[in-house]
């Protein structure tokens, strides 16, 4: 029995994954399509097919199945990358639906027409990424030339995996429990060195002294 899989990918913004999911669900509702599963990943298009879960996608899709994506750029970074993947999918008898570009690609369509459309759309997407990258570099160079400091202010403390257990760590330190025992026996995640770094940079030992 044929099935429909939806593929979602974003580089960093988790919110964008939700937007893609909603867009795909709305398309499926309008066209009475039942989606069997979502394959979602938050990695750069520069990563390997394994890391982008493309290998998994190819293994799970069989002849007469359908792949749903919001746009071609989700499938790869370069024109060649996208074309090679779509060519492999079509050869395996899989239908590809690209929502934003209004494309339905399968063996029943004229191969030359499909290839031309994919090439043009992928090329435009690649050109857009290059222009955005160039504008970003130019903007950064301008700020640097003006003496504007780039990056986070000196002394900025980033969020940590231990933040959620901050009070618990302080309580255990107050009881005289060592960082080593807190890490191994109480938290069961992270490492002794990373926890020790957290305790030192947050001044938790000083806080314990003040409490005592």
HEC secondary structure over the chain: CCCEEEEEEECCCHHHHHHHHHHHHHHHHHCCCCCCEEEEEECCCCCCCCCCCHHHHHHHCCCCCEEEECCHHHCCCCHHHHHHHHHHHHHCCCEEEECCCCEEECCCCCHHHHHHHHHHHHHHHHHHHHHHHHHHHHHHHHHHHCCCCCCCCCCCCCCCCCHHHHHHHHHHHHCCCCHHHHHHHHHCCCCHHHHHHHHHHCCHHHHHHHHC
In this structure, are 10 and 112 located in the same domain?
yes
pLDDT band at 110, cuts 50/70/90?
Answer: low
Range of the domain at 185: 163-211
In this structure, are 46 and 112 located in the same domain?
yes
130-to-83, 121, 126, 136, 166 alpha-carbon distances in Å: 19, 14, 6, 10, 43
pLDDT value of residue 122? 64
In this structure, are 37 and 119 located in the same domain?
yes
In this structure, are 15 and 113 located in the same domain?
yes
46 within some domain: yes
Q: Mean of the per-residue pLDDT values for the chain?
A: 83
Average pLDDT over residues 24-48: 91
In this structure, are 118 and 167 located in the same domain?
no
Q: Which of 76, 99, 126 is the last residue of a domain?
A: 126
In this structure, are 189 and 94 located in the same domain?
no
Q: Which of 126, 151, 181 is the last residue of a domain?
A: 126
CATH code for the domain in which residue 33 is found: 3.40.50.1390
Q: Are 160 and 198 in contact (CB under 8 A)?
A: yes
13 within some domain: yes
Q: Are 68 and 28 in contact (CB under 8 A)?
A: yes
In this structure, are 110 and 48 located in the same domain?
yes
In this structure, are 184 and 102 located in the same domain?
no
Average pLDDT over residues 67-86: 84
Q: How many domains does the chain have?
A: 2
138 within some domain: no
| pTM assigned to the model | 0.55
In this structure, are 13 and 106 located in the same domain?
yes
In this structure, are 15 and 117 located in the same domain?
yes
pLDDT band at 39, cuts 50/70/90?
Answer: very high
pLDDT digits (tens, 9 = 90+) for 113-122: 666 766 676 6
Q: Can you state the angle between helices 111-145 and 79-91, rounded to 10 degrees?
A: 150
pLDDT digits (tens, 9 = 90+) for 153-198: 655 667 888 998 998 899 888 888 888 889 888 887 888 888 988 9
């Amino acid at each position: 029995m044929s099935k429909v899989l939806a593929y979602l990918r974003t580089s960093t913004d988790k919110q964008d994954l939700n937007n893609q999911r909603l867009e795909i669900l709305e398309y499926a509702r309008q066209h009475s399509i039942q989606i069997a599963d979502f394959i979602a990943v938050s990695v750069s298009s520069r990563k390997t097919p394994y890391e982008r879960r493309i290998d998994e996608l190819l293994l799970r899709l069989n002849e007469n199945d359908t792949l749903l994506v919001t746009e071609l750029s989700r499938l790869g970074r370069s024109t060649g990358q996208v074309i090679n993947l779509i060519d492999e999918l079509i050869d395996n008898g899989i239908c590809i639906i690209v929502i934003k570009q209004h494309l339905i690609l399968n063996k029943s369509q004229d191969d030359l027409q499909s290839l031309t459309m994919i090439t043009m759309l992928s090329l435009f997407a690649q050109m857009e990424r290059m222009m955005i990258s160039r504008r970003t570099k130019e903007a950064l160079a301008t700020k640097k030339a003006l003496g504007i400091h780039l990056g986070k202010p000196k002394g900025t403390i980033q969020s940590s995996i231990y933040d959620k257990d901050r009070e618990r760590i302080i309580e255990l330190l107050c009881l005289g429990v060592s960082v080593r025992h807190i890490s191994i026996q109480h938290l069961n995640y992270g490492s002794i060195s990373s926890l020790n770094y957290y305790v030192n940079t947050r001044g938790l030992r000083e806080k314990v002294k003040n409490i005592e």
